[in-house]
Protein backbone atom coordinates (compact mmCIF):
# COMPACT_ATOMS: atom_id res chain seq x y z
CA UNK A 1 0.00 0.00 0.00
CA UNK A 2 2.85 2.37 0.84
CA UNK A 3 4.49 1.72 -2.54
CA UNK A 4 1.18 2.32 -4.27
CA UNK A 5 0.66 5.65 -2.52
CA UNK A 6 4.23 6.70 -3.28
CA UNK A 7 3.83 5.85 -6.97
CA UNK A 8 0.45 7.57 -7.28
CA UNK A 9 1.77 10.61 -5.40
CA UNK A 10 4.80 10.70 -7.68
CA UNK A 11 2.63 10.60 -10.79
CA UNK A 12 0.40 13.35 -9.44
CA UNK A 13 3.49 15.44 -8.63
CA UNK A 14 4.85 15.05 -12.16
CA UNK A 15 1.48 16.06 -13.63
CA UNK A 16 1.29 19.07 -11.28
CA UNK A 17 4.83 20.23 -12.09
CA UNK A 18 4.11 19.87 -15.79
CA UNK A 19 0.92 21.90 -15.44
CA UNK A 20 2.59 24.62 -13.34
CA UNK A 21 5.54 24.88 -15.73
CA UNK A 22 3.14 25.32 -18.60
CA UNK A 23 1.17 27.90 -16.62
CA UNK A 24 4.34 29.89 -15.99
CA UNK A 25 5.33 29.75 -19.63
CA UNK A 26 1.94 31.08 -20.65
CA UNK A 27 1.53 33.62 -17.82
CA UNK A 28 1.59 36.58 -20.17
CA UNK A 29 -0.87 35.03 -22.61
CA UNK A 30 -3.25 32.46 -21.18
CA UNK A 31 -5.02 32.02 -24.49
CA UNK A 32 -4.67 28.69 -26.25
CA UNK A 33 -6.19 27.61 -29.51
CA UNK A 34 -8.76 25.07 -28.37
CA UNK A 35 -9.20 21.89 -30.37
CA UNK A 36 -12.99 21.77 -30.41
CA UNK A 37 -13.26 18.78 -32.74
CA UNK A 38 -11.20 15.97 -34.21
CA UNK A 39 -9.49 12.73 -33.29
CA UNK A 40 -7.43 12.11 -30.16
CA UNK A 41 -5.44 9.28 -28.59
CA UNK A 42 -4.49 8.74 -24.99
CA UNK A 43 -3.41 6.42 -22.24
CA UNK A 44 -4.10 5.99 -18.52
CA UNK A 45 -2.21 4.29 -15.73
CA UNK A 46 -3.72 3.69 -12.32
CA UNK A 47 -4.85 1.32 -9.63
CA UNK A 48 -7.69 -1.13 -9.35
CA UNK A 49 -9.88 -1.88 -6.36
CA UNK A 50 -11.82 -5.11 -6.50
CA UNK A 51 -14.96 -4.84 -4.33
CA UNK A 52 -14.56 -6.78 -1.12
CA UNK A 53 -10.90 -5.84 -0.65
CA UNK A 54 -10.00 -2.99 1.66
CA UNK A 55 -7.33 -1.13 -0.30
CA UNK A 56 -5.78 -0.42 -3.63
CA UNK A 57 -2.86 -2.82 -3.97
CA UNK A 58 0.37 -2.23 -5.86
CA UNK A 59 0.02 -5.47 -7.85
CA UNK A 60 -3.33 -4.29 -9.23
CA UNK A 61 -2.14 -1.63 -11.62
CA UNK A 62 -4.36 -0.80 -14.59
CA UNK A 63 -3.22 0.12 -18.09
CA UNK A 64 -5.60 1.66 -20.60
CA UNK A 65 -5.25 2.84 -24.20
CA UNK A 66 -7.85 5.19 -25.72
CA UNK A 67 -8.87 6.60 -29.07
CA UNK A 68 -11.69 9.10 -29.51
CA UNK A 69 -13.34 11.70 -31.64
CA UNK A 70 -14.62 15.09 -30.43
CA UNK A 71 -17.69 16.32 -32.30
CA UNK A 72 -17.49 19.71 -30.62
CA UNK A 73 -16.34 21.28 -27.37
CA UNK A 74 -18.89 19.31 -25.29
CA UNK A 75 -19.37 15.83 -26.81
CA UNK A 76 -17.03 13.01 -27.82
CA UNK A 77 -17.11 9.28 -28.43
CA UNK A 78 -14.34 7.08 -27.13
CA UNK A 79 -13.11 3.50 -27.45
CA UNK A 80 -10.37 1.75 -25.60
CA UNK A 81 -8.58 -1.33 -24.36
CA UNK A 82 -8.07 -1.85 -20.62
CA UNK A 83 -5.92 -4.39 -18.78
CA UNK A 84 -7.09 -4.78 -15.19
CA UNK A 85 -4.25 -7.11 -14.25
CA UNK A 86 -4.69 -10.06 -11.92
CA UNK A 87 -6.14 -10.33 -8.44
CA UNK A 88 -6.97 -12.97 -5.87
CA UNK A 89 -4.48 -15.50 -4.49
CA UNK A 90 -2.65 -18.67 -5.51
CA UNK A 91 -5.66 -20.87 -4.80
CA UNK A 92 -8.40 -18.76 -6.40
CA UNK A 93 -7.69 -15.77 -8.64
CA UNK A 94 -8.67 -14.03 -11.83
CA UNK A 95 -7.25 -11.85 -14.60
CA UNK A 96 -9.46 -9.49 -16.61
CA UNK A 97 -9.04 -7.36 -19.72
CA UNK A 98 -11.47 -5.93 -22.25
CA UNK A 99 -12.61 -3.32 -24.74
CA UNK A 100 -14.76 -0.27 -24.08
CA UNK A 101 -17.00 2.11 -26.01
CA UNK A 102 -18.38 5.27 -24.42
CA UNK A 103 -19.95 8.66 -24.94
CA UNK A 104 -18.14 11.49 -23.19
CA UNK A 105 -19.60 14.81 -22.03
CA UNK A 106 -17.17 17.70 -21.46
CA UNK A 107 -17.73 20.87 -19.43
CA UNK A 108 -15.05 23.55 -20.02
CA UNK A 109 -14.31 25.50 -16.83
CA UNK A 110 -11.52 27.79 -18.06
CA UNK A 111 -9.25 28.02 -21.09
CA UNK A 112 -7.30 25.05 -19.76
CA UNK A 113 -9.37 23.17 -17.18
CA UNK A 114 -12.43 21.07 -17.96
CA UNK A 115 -14.54 18.46 -16.22
CA UNK A 116 -15.78 15.40 -18.06
CA UNK A 117 -18.02 12.42 -17.49
CA UNK A 118 -18.50 9.32 -19.57
CA UNK A 119 -20.70 6.25 -19.69
CA UNK A 120 -20.44 3.18 -21.83
CA UNK A 121 -20.07 -0.55 -22.31
CA UNK A 122 -17.25 -2.91 -21.34
CA UNK A 123 -16.74 -6.20 -23.18
CA UNK A 124 -14.40 -8.21 -20.95
CA UNK A 125 -12.76 -11.59 -20.75
CA UNK A 126 -11.83 -13.03 -17.37
CA UNK A 127 -9.52 -15.99 -16.86
CA UNK A 128 -10.32 -17.75 -13.59
CA UNK A 129 -7.75 -19.95 -11.84
CA UNK A 130 -8.71 -22.49 -9.19
CA UNK A 131 -5.99 -24.72 -7.76
CA UNK A 132 -4.08 -24.74 -11.05
CA UNK A 133 -7.15 -25.17 -13.29
CA UNK A 134 -7.98 -22.28 -15.63
CA UNK A 135 -11.17 -21.33 -17.45
CA UNK A 136 -12.21 -18.25 -19.45
CA UNK A 137 -15.52 -16.40 -19.34
CA UNK A 138 -16.75 -13.44 -21.40
CA UNK A 139 -18.97 -10.71 -19.98
CA UNK A 140 -20.65 -7.44 -20.95
CA UNK A 141 -21.18 -4.67 -18.42
CA UNK A 142 -21.78 -0.95 -18.08
CA UNK A 143 -19.37 1.62 -16.68
CA UNK A 144 -19.36 5.29 -15.66
CA UNK A 145 -16.47 7.63 -15.05
CA UNK A 146 -15.60 11.24 -14.34
CA UNK A 147 -12.43 13.29 -14.40
CA UNK A 148 -10.58 16.59 -14.54
CA UNK A 149 -8.55 17.59 -17.58
CA UNK A 150 -5.81 20.21 -17.95
CA UNK A 151 -4.67 21.44 -21.38
CA UNK A 152 -0.89 21.86 -21.26
CA UNK A 153 -1.09 22.96 -24.91
CA UNK A 154 -3.91 22.97 -27.42
CA UNK A 155 -2.90 19.41 -28.39
CA UNK A 156 -1.58 17.85 -25.17
CA UNK A 157 -3.65 17.29 -22.02
CA UNK A 158 -3.21 15.57 -18.66
CA UNK A 159 -6.18 13.89 -16.96
CA UNK A 160 -7.12 12.51 -13.56
CA UNK A 161 -10.03 10.05 -13.68
CA UNK A 162 -12.15 7.71 -11.56
CA UNK A 163 -14.17 4.94 -13.22
CA UNK A 164 -16.50 2.22 -11.91
CA UNK A 165 -17.16 -0.89 -14.00
CA UNK A 166 -20.30 -2.81 -13.03
CA UNK A 167 -18.69 -6.14 -13.84
CA UNK A 168 -20.16 -9.33 -12.46
CA UNK A 169 -17.21 -11.69 -12.18
CA UNK A 170 -19.11 -14.92 -11.70
CA UNK A 171 -16.84 -17.94 -12.01
CA UNK A 172 -19.87 -20.28 -11.91
CA UNK A 173 -20.11 -19.67 -15.65
CA UNK A 174 -16.58 -20.99 -16.12
CA UNK A 175 -16.62 -23.84 -13.56
CA UNK A 176 -19.89 -25.74 -13.59
CA UNK A 177 -18.70 -28.32 -11.08
CA UNK A 178 -17.28 -26.01 -8.40
CA UNK A 179 -19.43 -24.38 -5.71
CA UNK A 180 -18.89 -20.96 -4.11
CA UNK A 181 -17.16 -19.46 -7.15
CA UNK A 182 -19.18 -16.25 -7.17
CA UNK A 183 -16.93 -13.23 -7.73
CA UNK A 184 -19.70 -10.67 -8.28
CA UNK A 185 -18.08 -7.29 -7.83
CA UNK A 186 -17.40 -3.82 -9.17
CA UNK A 187 -14.01 -2.88 -10.57
CA UNK A 188 -13.03 0.62 -9.45
CA UNK A 189 -10.21 2.39 -11.28
CA UNK A 190 -8.35 5.54 -10.24
CA UNK A 191 -5.90 6.74 -12.87
CA UNK A 192 -3.76 9.52 -14.27
CA UNK A 193 -3.45 9.87 -18.02
CA UNK A 194 -2.40 11.86 -21.04
CA UNK A 195 -4.28 12.79 -24.21
CA UNK A 196 -3.04 14.04 -27.56
CA UNK A 197 -5.46 15.80 -29.92
CA UNK A 198 -4.76 15.92 -33.65
3-state secondary structure 37-75: CEEEEEEEEEEEEECCCCCCCCCCEEEEEEEEEECCCCE
pTM: 0.74
- Nearest C-alpha neighbor of 118 from the set 18, 191, 35, 196: 191
Is the residue at 62 inside a domain? yes
Length of the chain: 198
Query: How does DSSP assign 86-128, residue by residue?
Result: EEE-SSEEEEEEEEEEEEEEEEE-SSSEEEEEEEEEEEEEEEE
Q: Count of alpha carbons within 13 Å of 36, Cβ hemisphere only?
A: 5
- Nearest C-alpha neighbor of 86 from the set 110, 63, 54: 63
Is the residue at 10 inside a domain? yes
Sign of CA dihedral 177, 181, 182, 186: negative
Give the pLDDT score at 151.
95
Is the residue at 32 inside a domain? no
Give the pLDDT score at 134.
80
Q: Print pLDDT tens along the chain (198 aa).
A: 445 445 444 544 444 444 444 444 444 445 676 578 999 999 999 988 876 544 444 457 899 999 999 999 999 999 999 998 887 777 777 788 999 999 999 999 999 999 999 999 999 998 877 777 788 888 899 999 999 999 999 999 999 999 999 876 655 555 555 555 555 567 889 999 999 999
Please tell me the total count of domains within the chain: 1
Give the pLDDT score at 98.
95
Beta pairing, strands 75-88 & 92-108: antiparallel
Is the residue at 101 inside a domain? yes
Report d(CA 159, CA 140) in Å as an integer. 26
Is residue 135 classed as helix, strand or coil in its secondary structure?
Answer: strand
Residues of the domain holding 157: 2-27+37-197
Domain CATH code at residue 144: 2.40.160.20
Burial environment of residue 148 by CB neighbours within 10 A (0 to 12, 13 to 18, 19 or more): middle
Is the residue at 144 inside a domain? yes
Report d(CA 128, CA 170) in Å as an integer. 9
Amino acid sequence: MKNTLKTLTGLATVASISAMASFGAHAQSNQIEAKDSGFYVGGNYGYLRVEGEDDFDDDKDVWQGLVGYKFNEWVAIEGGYVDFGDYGNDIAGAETDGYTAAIKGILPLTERFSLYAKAGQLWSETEYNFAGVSRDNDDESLFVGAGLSYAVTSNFLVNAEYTVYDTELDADEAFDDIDDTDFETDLKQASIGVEYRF
